[in-house]
Amino acid sequence: MSSELRKPIISGNWKMNHNHYEAIQCVQKLAYILTKEDYAEVDVTIHPPFTDLRSVQTMIDADELKFILGAQHCHEADSGAFTGEVSAAFLAKLNVSYVIVGHSERREIFGETNEAVNAKIVAIQKHKMTPIVCVGETLAEREAGKTHEKVLGQVRSALEKRSVEQIKSLVVAYEPIWAIGTGKTATADDAQRMISSIREEVAKISSANAAESIRLQYGGSVKASNIGEIMSQPDIDGVLVGGASLDAAEFGRICQYRLRPLNP
């Protein structure tokens, strides 16, 4: 399926790394590397820890930077007795535009269910932000031949009761759990096949129009050395970058993938 109508989106997930001083330094370095031509071609979202959000938001606003601010997680309720949680309503007040939801670490370590992911998607869209919905399989599920069953089941649950317009605005990130932080990466062909299946599933769930508009990312040990091959695939509209996004120079090269050969 042609991706001509879908602007690529490169997202940096800093996870529990970078205090707010380090976050400021990273943003300053990245701002020096990227040009207006880069931002014209690619949406760049950065997702620092909660304690960094205000510092990064202030920098973006004061210096008129072209990064798009994102968060890593939120609670589905607007407020309440949920000690330690942060609501989508709070994030919206910080000019957050994208929120990662259902990341494998949230699902695997903190027990986040498909139903909880759907509730968070509803809350994020209620406050006019865009969810980056993560889906993916474990190594055991992959070896048992259950990849499609697991991943497409997560997709169906995430999109339940969402309108065509709401689905069209989403980002879905396929992140095979066995490839996150391991140095292993699904081959570009494997990633393309799975992401193409996700797009086909979206068409079945919603409409061909929604499937054409939704942006689909790949996540899992993405680096400057493999970004060209990943982004050459027709259904891959971007990447969700973990460890490599902590290094401004490396993340900058990833964002500038279009300027790089397939195998640098």
Catalytic one among 75, 76, 103, 141?
103
Q: Is the dihedral of CA 193, 199, 205, 207 positive or negative?
A: negative
What integer best gives the mean pLDDT of the chain?
Answer: 94
Using alpha carbons only, what angle is made at residue 211 by residues 174 and 221, rounded to the nearest 5 degrees?
15
CATH number for the region 9-259 comes to 3.20.20.70
Taking CA atoms, 187 is separated from 123, 197, 220, 263, in Å, by: 34, 15, 11, 13
pLDDT band at 218 (very low <50, low <70, confident <90, very high): very high
CB contact at 8 A, 252 and 23: no
Give residue limits of the domains in the chain. Answer: 9-259
- Which residues have CB under 8 Å from 196's CB, separation 6+? 1, 234, 235
127 tagged catalytic = no
Q: Is 149 a catalytic residue?
A: no
* Active-site entry in 76, 105, 137, 175: 175
Region 135-152: mean pLDDT is 93
Single out the residue of 89, 81, 104 nearest to residue 15, CA to CA: 104
Q: Encode pLDDT of 51-106 as tens digits.
A: 999 999 999 999 999 999 999 999 999 999 999 999 999 999 999 999 999 999 99
What gap in Å lies between CA 214 and CA 82, rounded to an integer? 32
Q: Quick one: tokens of 136?
A: 């993916």
Residue 19, SS3 per DSSP: coil
